[in-house]
Structure formats: structure tokens, C-alpha cells
Structure 1
């Protein structure tokens, strides 16, 4: 079984020029810049190509606007790109005010799907959290739980490090504690069960570091981030725009049992289409440039293989 995780950067379906069109892979910060429809289409063909070529059995996605967007992308971009068929396509409403949700494409139908978007810190017994997190929905998007025949998958997208990085860190640590509590509530002995936690955790640290981070509650002997198995410096999945600053927000955490069963599994990072390009609208060569330099996402796709799972 091959599992992938991919933040597809603001995948949203809109009416433009009388047609349904997906937004290109652009941050909201650049919304004021005019974009050709052809640019957006070229971006999303590249996004589809990256997913199709990964040939994963399950793809966890982040930043999908809604179920209609996912269906449009699947039908009009993924399948024409030669993607495997994914009969199961799930995108449930989360808590992001912009509608950027987590989603799943799967060859296998899950036995159960559960959203945790409505959970508060108090619901999980985390009464020491600030009021905003204790008495209101804790997850900035969701922790989507899916049961398959041989394992359970949790798909997350934690708080981004802005506008206040310090406050965002507090939220991410609370989200990490919440995910751990959900797993512990589900499995009396989590170390003996097969489960994974995947997604975009918006934590910049890289390498198998001992320092405390917002994701420490998910480690501490609780699970293993198998991107730590990659050599330091090769494990980055995100590049800050217009810089060469790298980080690793995208993770695959395995339960103690799965980490023990798959000690040789090393994830692969696919950076195709990560580079950002801008175009002069008056350029006569813009269509050729679009064809050659479309942008899939600002994140890499990450996948790992689990034979016999």
C-alpha cells in the first residue's frame, strides 16, 4: 500500500468568465495580482500530474475548498492526467474560514469516516488551554479519521505560523495534544495498534532533533515521524517563496507498531512543480511559458510504501 500526503495550495473552484475554473496554486497574499485563466489551468494540470505520477493507493490532501472542488479536480484534471481511479473521494467541512479543508482520495473504501472539527479542548479534557481553545473548536481545520481494514488514518492541517507566530505555536501544540488524545481515546494501548497521522503540520523544524517543538506531543515515544529517516538537508518539503529557505511542514507519523513493522520504509519527496513563476500579461510567449513552467504547489508531495498493509 502506498500512502501520499500533499498540500495542493488553495485548490478552489470558482466561476470565471462564465466558466467553472480552479484557482491556480497561489497564496491568498497574491490575490490582487491579475491571473490569466490559462495560468490557473496550467497550474492545476501540473498538480494533477504530480498526484497521478505518485500512483498512491491513498492520497491525503490539504487546502481543498470543498467536495465540489475535489470532484471537479478529479474528473477534469486527475483522470485525464492518467491518475489511478479513486472511487472514494472525501472532503468534509472544517473550521478554516476560507474553506480550505483536508480531503482524501482512496482506492479502498474506508470502514468509517469521522470528523473532529467540532471538538473543543474541554471535550478532550484539555482544560489547561487558553479559553479560545478550551471552549471553542480547537482544530483550525480538522483531524479527519478514517478506518481501513488494516489501519487507521488521521489527516491533519495545523495552524499556519501567522499572523502572530508565537500564538500560532500555542495553537499547533494544542492541536498536537488533541490529536494524541483522540488516538489514546480510540486505542487503549496505542503502541499495539496500526495507525498513521499525516498532513501539513506547519512546523518548520527539520531532522531528528531533540529540541521541543509544537509537535513534541506526537513524539515522545508515542509515534515516529518517518521523515526523520531521511538524511538531514534532503528532508525538506517547503521552500519559502522567493528564497532558498527550506522547512518540513509535511509529516508522516507512524504508531510504534507500524514503525516496528516497517523499519526500512523511507518516504519519497516529490518536488516537481514547486517553483513559483510570475508572467507579464503582455508577453507574447506567455502560453509557451505556461506550458513549461506551471506551478503545482508550494509544498512537495510525500509518499511512503507499506507492503502488505
Structure 2
């Protein structure tokens, strides 16, 4: 099985005057330049996914299932990739619609944990009865593999206030894995997504509950300079918010499974990337996203 994880950056379908269009890979402060660049952004995202040709795609920042279906049925075929027969975007807790989505060639059983509370998992919190995930922790069961797709709280605008939110999300994800498997170390599971941990956190890592020895960090199979997945244009800094954390059993079964970081859709402003760019990529935009995608091959599933 080939698995892709990708923060596709604010993918939202809008319908006006009988026409459908997708917002571009942009934040709100870039709305003024959107009309010309939005379609190009989304064509680049589709081209990136078509080049990856993964059997299971785990996407972050998708507005809703209607958006996912339109992208799957219209843009992926235009990029040369057949629509995925299984396309799902379950509603999460983000009021802006930055939900988690799955595209799969084979059947996948999905379980949302958007409404799970700290009290249900026996976790300490100031709000024990309220949903704890900023978006969701979407569990997908595809054959012998179970994936947990996440998009944790970003360390913005206040890193100190965001840290305990992200720590609770990490503790909850670990608790869900432990609830699903009697012995998590022996099961085949993968945590994938945008965990939003700074590259060099100033202090303890908020996602420490999910890190080794509980898991194996597959990104550590890459040389450290090759692990970055995100360039922040405002601070001109590189980081690796995107993660692939495997169970010890999965890491042992595929000792040579090394992630690939797909940066061809990033803007030329990320000068640390000296490889190829997709045709049409600009300095900042058009681009496929402000994140690179992660690709992992697990042969035999």
C-alpha cells in the first residue's frame, strides 16, 4: 500500500451564480489576489497527488465532503488520476471547516473522534466534558492497517497557550490507540498528519506522549536536513509539522520503509528545496500548498 499524508491548505468549494469553484491554497490575508491564482493552486495540488498515485490519501484542511467530491471527480481526472471510489470528509470541530478527509482505492472503515471528551478517556483537563480535538482524530481501518489522521492545534498566535491544547490532543490520540489495541506495540498502526509541533520546540515537546518509545518516528529515517515539510513565509523559517509515527510492530515489519517528502508543489520562495518544481509553480503562489506531502510505501498490504 502506498500512503500519502498532505495538508492541502484550505480546500473549500464555493458555488455562486450556477458555477462551482475552489478557493486556492491560501490564507485569509491573501484573498485580494485569489481570483487569478486559485484555479492554478488547485490544479497544482491535483498534479502533485496524481504524481504520487497513492492508494490511500489522508488529507488535512478540507472544508466538507462536497468539496472533496468535487476535487475528486473534477480535478484529479483532469490531472490524469482516476477518481477514488471511496472519498470521505467527516465533520470535525473546526468552525472554519478545516476537516480531515480520506481518499482510498479500497474499502476503509472510518471512525470519527471529534466528539470525544477528556472525561471519556480519563484525561485531566479544565474542560473535561467538552470535545478535546481541535478538528478530529479520524481512525481509518484499511485491511490489516489502522491509520489515525490528525491535525493538532497550531502554535499560533500564542505558543504558550497552544502547547497544552496540543499536548492533550497527543495524550488523547495515544489513549485512543491504547483503547483500540490490547498491546499497541504489536499492532499495525500509523499516526499521520499535521501535528503542528515546532521543528525545535523551546522546551518539552507537546506531542511527547506519541513519540518513541511508544512509536517509531519514520521521519527519523531521513537525514535531518531532509525532514522539513513547511516553509513559513512570514518568519522565513523551515519546520516539520507533518509526521508519520508508526507502531513498533509496523516499523519492524517494514525496516526499509522510508518516507518521501514531496516538495515539487511548494513555491520557489522555499529555496532550501533545490529539486524539481511542478510546471506553473510561482515564487509564493501559485503553489499546491504551503506544506509538502509525505509518501510512504508499505509493500504487501
Deviations 1:205-255 (A, max 9, x none): 26xx9x730111001411112011111111100000155410001111110
Distance of 1:308 and 1:187 partners within structure 2: 22
Identify the residue that residue 26 of structure 1 maps to in structure 2. Answer: 26
User: What secondary structure, in the 3-state scheme, does the structure 1 residue paired with 2:50 have?
Assistant: helix
Structure 1: distance between partners of 2:33 and 2:280: 18
Match of 1:130 among 126, 137, 144: 126
TM-score by structure 1 length?
Answer: 0.89
Alignment of 1:205-284 (within 5 A): 205=199, 212-275=204-267
- Note the alpha carbon deviations across 1:226-285, whole angstroms, 9 max, x for none: 0111111111000001554100011111101001111111100011121178xxxxxxxx
Shift of 1:292: 5.2
Q: Is the 8 A contact 2:90 2:112 kept in 1?
A: yes
Give the aligned partner of residue 282 of structure 1: none
Aligned residues: 288
Match of 1:168 among 159, 162, 167: 162
State the partner residue of 1:103.
Answer: 101
The 1:97/1:276 distance shift into structure 2, 3 A limit, reads farther
The C-alpha deviation readout for 1:276-299, integer Å capped at 9, x for no partner, is 78xxxxxxxxxxxx9453211000
Match of 2:73, SS state, is helix
Q: Is the 8 A contact 2:4 2:294 kept in 1?
A: yes
Aligned to 1:50: 48
Q: Report the RMSD for the aligned CA atoms in angstroms.
A: 1.8
Runs of 4 or more consecutive aligned structure 1 residues displaced over 2 Å after TM superposition: 15-18, 28-31, 290-294
Counterpart position of 1:35: 34
Task: Compute the displacement of 1:23 (Å).
Answer: 0.2
- What are the residue-to-residue correspondences of 1:138-217 with 2, within 5 Å? 138-205=132-199, 212-217=204-209
TM score, norm. by length of structure 2:
0.91
Q: Distance in 2 between matches of 1:302 and 1:195?
A: 16
- Match of 2:115, SS state, is coil
Matches of 2:172 and 2:82, distance apart in 1: 34
**Gapped runs of 5+ residues in structure 2?**
270-278
SS in 2 for 1:10: strand
Structure 2 match to 1:296: 288
